[in-house]
Structure 1
Amino acid sequence: MTPGRPAADEPEDGAGGLVIFLNGTSSSGKSSIAVELLRILDEPSFHIPVDAFHAMRTGQEIPADRLATVLHNTWRGYHRAIAGMAAAGNHVVMDHVLSAEWRLRDCLDLFVPQNVVFVGVHCPRAELERRERERGDRPPGLAARQLAQVHAHGLYDIECDTSRADPLQCAVRIKDFLTNRPTPTAFQRLRARQAPTT
């Protein structure tokens, strides 16, 4: 390899990959949209859900006094894994639950804001409760408890309602949005909100 030149599998321009950031409550339909996005996106992309990180953790029971720390560290690790994949030039579809305020702040600190498409995935409470009952693998009322915080920041690049559009329709809307993304992005505007004033 010539010194100073990238390897054959490294991008020439050093640009980071795009992060399509799906945020919504449990059972709102994020993973279903992500599956359709991977099927229709033009560029090779990875779907990296936070649930996959929780699933990789050891199956042994975590003592109650350590549970909060273990979960916090898992979320922090997830954010850094996404940032690392994007920094290496990979396109990533992540599905997330911003049900704690610090999670958004952490992502704003880590991600390149112009490379993030922030997608609000909405679903009415009654439909969320119906989906939870149908799934049977989530604590009853989990999604309803998350609703107040998940969308509290109130700012997205694009939003969808999965009670009105199916996963493929949502994915097509997101893909169409990618061809003409406005600036500043939602992440750029949210970062500006955080910046200390002098």
Structure 2
Amino acid sequence: MREHPGTERDGHDANGLIVFLNGTSSSGKSSIARELLTLLDEPYFHLPVDAFHAMRSRPQLTPAEVDDTLKRTWRGFHRAVAGMAAAGNNVVVDHVLSEPWRLEDCLALFPADQVVLVGVHCPVDELERRERARGDRPAGLAASQVPRVHAHGTYDVECDTGTATPLDCARRIAHFLPERPVPTAFQRLRRQHGI
């Protein structure tokens, strides 16, 4: 696979590429990310938000404290992704843009020309089946996220894990990367949000 346009790999100050997978819980983002890492020629890091949540201790908290802790975790996750990319690392991120502030925070932090925003879709009945099979998520979580996660409506590339395998989706994304168009979805969204 060719070098990504707009990167200068011989310099340490060039931003890495951020492949940003956005979809509901159980939509298949992590499965796509794992397949994608096997297809790409350059080194990439998979940074799943679930890994950041898993690192956190679990003290007894009030509902307000839980909300504050979750928000700080998401904000820290965004800054970790930005830091990895700023150091020249390519990253594959899986994310759930279920709250508007999350998108706005990412738009402000990430180099918009170096983000490929991928919409990961899945039919609600399949999301519910996967939730039941996993058994580690509240019933109905993914279905409740569907209208919010994709509300911004702008992507560089999209896939549907209800009709395509994770490998098929990863191939679609990998094929898109070398000739990605400008402006990127992040550039268009920055203009829409006045960032």
Question: Which residue in 1 is equivalent to 2:98?
Answer: 99
1:142-157 equivalences under 5 Å are 142-157=141-156
Matches within 5 A, 1:41-190: 41-190=40-189
2:128 partner amino acid: E
Check whether the contact 2:117–2:157 (CA below 8 A) recurs between aligned residues: yes
User: Is the 2:12–2:87 Cα contact (8 Å) retained in structure 1?
Assistant: no
Instruction: Tell whether the 8 Å contact from 2:119 to 2:150 is kept in structure 1 after alignment.
Output: yes
Unmatched segments (≥5 aa) in structure 1: 1-9
CA RMSD of aligned residues (A): 1.2
Work out the CA distance in 2 between the residues paired with 1:62 and 1:90. Answer: 35
Share of identical aligned residues, percent?
65
CA contact (8 A) 2:37 2:44 kept: yes
Please list every run of 5 or more consecutive structure 2 residues that lacks an aligned counterpart in the other structure. 1-8
TM, length-normalised to structure 2? 0.93
1:7-57 Cα distance to aligned partner (Å, 9 max, x none): xxx942621000000000000000000000111111100000000000000
CA distance in 2, matches of 1:95, 1:53: 11
Name the CA distance, whole Å, in 2 between partners of 1:133 and 1:195: 40
Q: 2: CA distance between counterparts of 1:75 and 1:177?
A: 28
CA distance in 2, matches of 1:18, 1:45: 9
* Deviation of the 1:114 alpha carbon: 0.4
1: CA distance, partners of 2:64 / 2:11: 48
- Secondary structure of 1:179's counterpart equals helix
CA distance in 2, matches of 1:133, 1:94: 25
Deviations 1:177-198 (CA, angstroms, capped at 9, x unpaired): 00110000000000011128xx
Query: 1:5 aligns to what?
Result: none
Q: Provide the C-alpha distance between the structure 1 equivalents of 2:91 and 2:148, rounded to a whole number of angstroms.
A: 24
Q: Count how many residue pairs are aligned between Structure 1 and Structure 2.
A: 187
TM-score in terms of structure 1 length = 0.92
SS in 2 for 1:48: strand
Cross-structure match for 1:7:
none
SS at match of 2:159: strand
Q: Which amino acid aligns with 2:134?
A: R
CA distance in 2, matches of 1:105, 1:33: 24
> 1: CA distance between counterparts of 2:39 and 2:55?
27
Instruction: Provide runs of 4+ in structure 1 moved above 4 Å.
Output: none
The structure with the larger Rg is 1
In 1, the alpha carbon distance for the partners of 2:61 and 2:118 equals: 33
Secondary structure of the residue aligned to 1:20 is strand
